[in-house]
Amino acid sequence: MSTPETAVASAPARTAHHRRYLMCKPEHFTVNYSINPWMEPSKPTDTANAVAQWQKLYDLYIELGHEVELIEPLAGYPDMVYTANGGFLIDGRAYVPEFRFVERQGEAPAFAEWFRRAGYDTVMPKEVNEGEGDFLLVGDVILAGTGFRSTGDSHREVGEVFGREVVSLNLTDPRFYHLDTAIAVLDPVQGIENGGPERANIAYLPGAFDDASRAILEERFPDAILVSDEDGAVFGLNSASDGYNVIISPRAKGFEKQLRERGYNPITVDLSELLLGGGGIKCCTLELRGAK
Ligand code: ARG
């Protein structure tokens, strides 16, 4: 963990907001199939190390005052630790995923059941979508990724389910196959409601998108933090923010500095073992908005 340093004097004051997350302990973690370029089944994995690293992230959220709910890990579903793909939840409504690959399809009913029991209005999908891996709420708008996992049709569906504007973005680099590997939402609550000095802002990796999507991002988020290829390649963007504390990979050195300059408090957690499955901090974190 890094210690907070004094923010640059001109940077706006940031406020931490309470979060409620869903996580899944990686008790069955391994890499025995490959559905993204990070996964190499021939490389050994260490489940105990995955659990220990995951536990540090869990403990940090608790220490920061957030609430963390747990879903029981299912044997035979080593990717279930990446709960961000388990759904997309706003205002007490849960949109259930339809996983692209058969290896993960058995996770969806378990997540749906968890949401129902937790009191969410649970909506079953018609279209292939991988939850908060590809859908990010920024202020009132849903940024939606496509190209590798969630389909363009799911972007229409998610817009209907939540009655919100959806901005479709095309991912083009197979290493950044989910939107949450290429964009980090820094201020999940809109700036105005937030009482914050700026609009809801993001950080992103320009090289992960096609030209048209990059143009949309430039126009919508003129103040965004542009992350270097180097930091993107170590999953620097796969991070969780509460509006002040931003949990990032210890390898994303440049991003850490950029965050500090903007008045955020970056805190590093190493999930190197879980990166063998192609996931990081955000992948292991699903935000539970509404209901309880
Ligand atoms: N092995 C998992 C997969 O390929 C990793 C998922 C990462 N999740 C994320 N939200 N980016 O589906």
The rounded average pLDDT for each run of 10 residues, N- to C-terminus, in the chain (292 residues) is: 52 88 98 98 97 98 98 98 98 97 98 98 98 95 97 98 97 98 84 52 97 97 96 98 97 98 97 98 97 70
Give the pLDDT confidence score for residue 155 in this predicted structure.
98
Which residues make Cβ contacts (< 8 Å) with residue 36, sequence separation at least 6?
174, 175, 177, 278
* CA–CA dist 187, 16 (Å, integer): 9
Instruction: Tell how strand 202-204 and strand 225-226 pair up.
Output: parallel
Q: What is the pLDDT of residue 44?
A: 95
User: CA 247, CA 90: separation in Å to the nearest integer?
Assistant: 22
Other C-beta atoms lying within 10 Å of the C-beta of residue 65: 12
pLDDT at 194: 46
Tell me the C-alpha distance between 154 and 186, whole Å: 24
pLDDT of amino acid 2: 46
What pLDDT does 74 receive? 98
Which pLDDT score, from 0 to 100, does residue 197 have? 45
User: What local confidence, expressed as pLDDT, does residue 191 receive?
Assistant: 43
Nearest ligand 1 atom to the CA of 177 is 11
Ligand 1 atom closest to 78 (CA): 1
Ligand 1 atom nearest the C-alpha of 282 is 10
Question: What would the 3-class secondary structure string for 125-180 be?
Answer: CCCCECHHHCEEEECCEEEEEECCCCCHHHHHHHHHHHCCCEEEEEECCCCCCCHH
Phi-psi bin for 202: left (phi > 0), alpha (psi -120 to 50), beta? Answer: beta
Ligand 1 touching residue 85 (CB < 6 A) = yes
Q: State if residue 176 touches ligand 1 by the CB under 6 angstroms criterion.
A: no
| ipTM summary value | 0.97
Tell me, what's the pLDDT at 146? 98
Q: What pLDDT does 196 receive?
A: 47
The residue whose C-alpha atom lies closest to atom 1 belonging to ligand 1 is 277
What's the pTM value of the predicted model, to 2 decimals? 0.94
Instruction: State residue 188's pLDDT score.
Output: 63
Instruction: State the distance from the centre of ligand 1 to the C-alpha of 50, rounded, in angstroms.
Output: 15
Q: What's the confidence (pLDDT) of residue 10?
A: 66
Ligand 1 mutation pick, 29, 31, 134, 178, max ligand atoms within 8 A of CB: 178
